[in-house]
Amino acid sequence: KVVAVIMVGGPTKGTRFRPLSFNTPKPLFPLAGQPMVHHPISACKRIPNLAQIYLIGFHEEREFALYVSSISNELKLPVRYLKEDKPHGSAGGLYYFRDIIMEDSPSHIFLLNCDVCCSFPLPSMLDAHIKYGGMGTMLVIKVSAESANQFGELVADPDTHELLHYTEKPETFVSDLINCGVYIFTPDIFNAIEDVSTNREGRANLRRLSSFEALQSATRTLPKDFVRLDQDILSPLAGKKKLYTYETNDFWEQIKTPGLSLKCSELYLAQFRYTSPHLLASGDGKKNAKIVGDVYIHPSAKVHPSAKIGPNVSISANVRVGAGVRLIGCIILDDVEIKENAVVINSIVGWKSSLGRWSRVQADGDYNAKLGITILGEAVTVEDEVVVINSIVLPHKILNVSVQDEIIL
Ligand code: GDD
């Protein structure tokens, strides 16, 4: 049997995702119309002999309860949310729930970060992992040398694929091959995590005995039950014939900012062409609006037949789109109203917001720049004919004058 664990983090981790993480935990923010965590979960469906999926995090339980029960029904597979009382780190969180995870006596455990967007080639990772015969195999990808330092950089043996060297977010360039945050382990991973905490405790005790200065530094070290997968496990075990790599040539992105979520929504919409074509809107469907490229429209949304939508648009539940509206490269969240002839380009429009007639909400679409996309928080009102360009607007604001390159607090 195999189980899958998805690390969903907690509220303190989502600060870069503001203002979109104010009322929805980041893992439930919709990309291509589905909660972020839905994409790795549906990829898990392709794993042979999968017994359970666990989400581990320190968000409030109630925030995940509804989602977890509906996705369990949909997949006919138990999905459980396991809540940590405090953050234990990416490996410590896994270890904290080891008894529950081992209930089905799995031979293999997949571990996925929730904030990565990729094709999750899990069955082929499993095959590769079995062939390598190590304790763990991680998904890796080549990125540009300039961007590599935002990730774990690594060196792998080109023939055996063994992980030879690993450094988390190094200051000087190591390699353009990086860690994708998707792993498969044998249950031996729990012993490796336990060794880290035992050693840490041992070192702390030793220092405490030696001198006052050492005592001070010991108190500054991490608590024994806080274990990071990258620094504490991957780095020390590299080059010991325990860890291997599996390189993907498909798409891969990290989802740390709203700008990147727009990019990832686009990537998942494109993937729907192969995995879930029924989720993509078609121009001649019952909605009748003109559809260009990849577009998702929730069945409860009402789109006027004279609107033109796409490419790369996703429209959530109960949205109303008026006559003559033009939408390009955007995410429109639940209960938004977009009135006649409004235009939205490269933007995210927050829940319950309202865009007036002939208004424009737009940006250049540079996903990596701070104001490269326009974001309207929850319940923002843009009045008729007002233009909002490259700006971030916090929840509940009413805009009656046009703004550009501004953060409206
Ligand atoms: N449950 C739980 N508890 N989850 C956690 C905790 C914790 O205490 N700490 C982090 N996570 C989750 C995050 O939500 C995320 O899904 C994942 O673990 C990794 O988060 P970080 O440890 O903050 O690392 P990162 O995202 O900056 O970088 C990691 O992922 C990159 C790929 O996206 C590293 O492993 C990089 O090397 C890697 O390139």
Q: Residue 327 and residue 93: Cα distance in Å, rounded?
A: 41
Copy the structure tokens of residue 325: 């509206």
Q: Whose CA is nearest to atom 18 of ligand 1?
A: 90
Model pLDDT, residue 218:
47
Q: Residue 382 and residue 252: Cα distance in Å, rounded?
A: 34
- This model of the complex carries an ipTM of 0.98
Q: Residue 27 and residue 8: Cα distance in Å, rounded?
A: 6
Q: Residue 369 and residue 125: Cα distance in Å, rounded?
A: 33
> Which string of DSSP letters, residue by residue, matches 195-252?
HHHHHHHHHHHHHHHH-HHHHHHHHHSPPTT---IIIIIIHHHTTTTSEEEEE--S-E
Beta bridge mates, 57: 9, 83
Model pLDDT, residue 219:
45
Q: Residue 183 and residue 1: Cα distance in Å, rounded?
A: 16
Q: Residue 81 and residue 109: Cα distance in Å, rounded?
A: 16
Instruction: Indicate the top mutation candidate among 113, 118, 255 to test ligand 1's pocket, ranked by most ligand atoms within 8 A of CB.
Output: 113
Pocket of ligand 1 contains residue 84 by CB under 6 Å? yes
Helix, strand, coil share of the chain (percent; to 5): 30, 30, 40
Q: Residue 274 — φ and ψ, nearest 5°?
A: -100, -35
Pocket of ligand 1 contains residue 181 by CB under 6 Å? yes
Pocket of ligand 1 contains residue 179 by CB under 6 Å? yes
Flag residues of the chain having pLDDT under 50: 215-216, 218-219, 285
Pocket of ligand 1 contains residue 152 by CB under 6 Å? yes
Atom of ligand 1 nearest to the CA of 84: 1
Pocket of ligand 1 contains residue 104 by CB under 6 Å? no
Rg (alpha carbons) of the chain, rounded to whole number? 23
Q: Residue 133 and residue 160: Cα distance in Å, rounded?
A: 11
Pocket of ligand 1 contains residue 93 by CB under 6 Å? yes
Letter string b/e over residues 14-24, b meaning 16 or more CB atoms within 10 A of that residue's CB: beebebbbeeb
Pocket of ligand 1 contains residue 151 by CB under 6 Å? yes
Q: Residue 340: how many CB atoms within 10 A of its CB?
A: 17
Pocket of ligand 1 contains residue 114 by CB under 6 Å? yes
Atom of ligand 1 nearest to the CA of 8: 14
Residue 272 CA to ligand 1 center (angstroms) comes to: 26
Atom of ligand 1 nearest to the CA of 13: 14
Pocket of ligand 1 contains residue 355 by CB under 6 Å? no
Model pLDDT, residue 287:
53
pLDDT tens digits along 200-228: 777 666 555 555 555 445 445 778 889 99
Pocket of ligand 1 contains residue 134 by CB under 6 Å? no
Q: Whose CA is nearest to atom 9 of ligand 1?
A: 89
Positive or negative, the CA dihedral 108, 92, 230, 193 is negative
Atom of ligand 1 nearest to the CA of 181: 32
Q: Residue 57 and residue 80: Cα distance in Å, rounded?
A: 11
How many helices (H) does the chain have, and how many strands (E)?
9, 31
Q: Whose CA is nearest to atom 25 of ligand 1?
A: 151
Residue 228 CA to ligand 1 center (angstroms) comes to: 8
For Cα atoms 392, 395, 396, give the angle at the middle one, nearest 5 degrees.
Answer: 125
